[in-house]
């Protein structure tokens, strides 16, 4: 095992500066999967479970979603919510039991509601309620991707070390090119955030600047025009 005195953030920037890493790259058609941009995790002014890494995160997510809609490509939003009994949280909901606990994000609650800053087009976007970390787990996401014949999954949201990581790993496992725009994901602590971005970039996904994703989408639109 290698040891170092560098922080997780420093290691991440070292890895990103390494031109030898071969990217998976963008494919021909993508889906945008926005993982849990709900108040429990985004409204730092309301809930101590919330976090913010880049203050423009949701602005960037909205910009991506707008471009996807122009292309006629699928936009997916997920959020977490559980029954009053919390039985659908399973063992995941057994470690703590406070008002802030995961399993106490109830259907119809303010914590389960999407952040008002995200622009969801309820006439065409897809909204899934999930109960476990991955956006694929026991949701219709895989069927949606097959229907749309996508080969690339762009993942945003939070947390980097939790639901983003789980979604990205499962995305790659299902054979999709997986893209994580750096400014579009967030976590509670920079150590978790950057350590997981590093691991994702080295193994499971391409961690890119959001502008790279926006430029690629603009290029697709220009080619279709």
The span from the CA of 77 to the CA of 60, in Å, is 15
Catalytic residue among 163, 169, 186, 205: 163
Structural contact between residues 180 and 157, judged by C-beta atoms closer than 8 angstroms: no
The span from the CA of 21 to the CA of 29, in Å, is 23
Provide φ and ψ at 114, rounded to 5°: -65, 145
Residue 147, C-beta contacts closer than 8 angstroms, at least 6 positions apart: none
Residue 27, C-beta contacts closer than 8 angstroms, at least 6 positions apart: 150, 151, 152, 177
163 is catalytic: yes
Residues marked as catalytic: 163
């Amino acid at each position: 095992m290698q040891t170092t005195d560098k922080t997780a953030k420093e290691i991440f920037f070292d890895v990103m500066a390494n031109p030898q890493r071969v990217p998976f790259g963008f494919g021909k058609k993508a889906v945008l999967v926005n993982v849990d941009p709900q108040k429990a995790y985004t409204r730092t002014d309301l809930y101590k479970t919330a976090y913010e890494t880049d203050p423009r995160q949701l602005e960037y997510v909205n910009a991506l979603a707008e471009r996807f809609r122009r292309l006629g490509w699928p936009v997916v939003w997920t959020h977490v919510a559980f029954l009053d009994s919390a039985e659908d949280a399973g063992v995941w909901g057994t470690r703590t039991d406070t008002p802030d606990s995961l399993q106490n994000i109830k259907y119809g609650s303010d914590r389960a509601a999407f952040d008002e800053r995200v622009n969801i087009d309820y006439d065409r976007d897809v909204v899934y309620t999930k109960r476990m970390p991955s956006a694929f787990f026991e949701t219709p996401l895989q069927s949606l991707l097959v229907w749309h014949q996508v080969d690339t999954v762009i993942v945003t949201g939070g947390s980097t070390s939790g639901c983003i990581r789980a979604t990205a790993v499962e995305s790659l496992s299902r054979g999709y090119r997986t893209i994580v725009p750096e400014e579009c994901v967030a976590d509670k602590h920079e150590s978790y955030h950057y350590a997981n971005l590093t691991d994702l970039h080295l193994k499971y996904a391409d961690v890119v600047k959001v502008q790279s994703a926006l430029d690629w989408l603009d290029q697709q639109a220009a080619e279709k025009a």
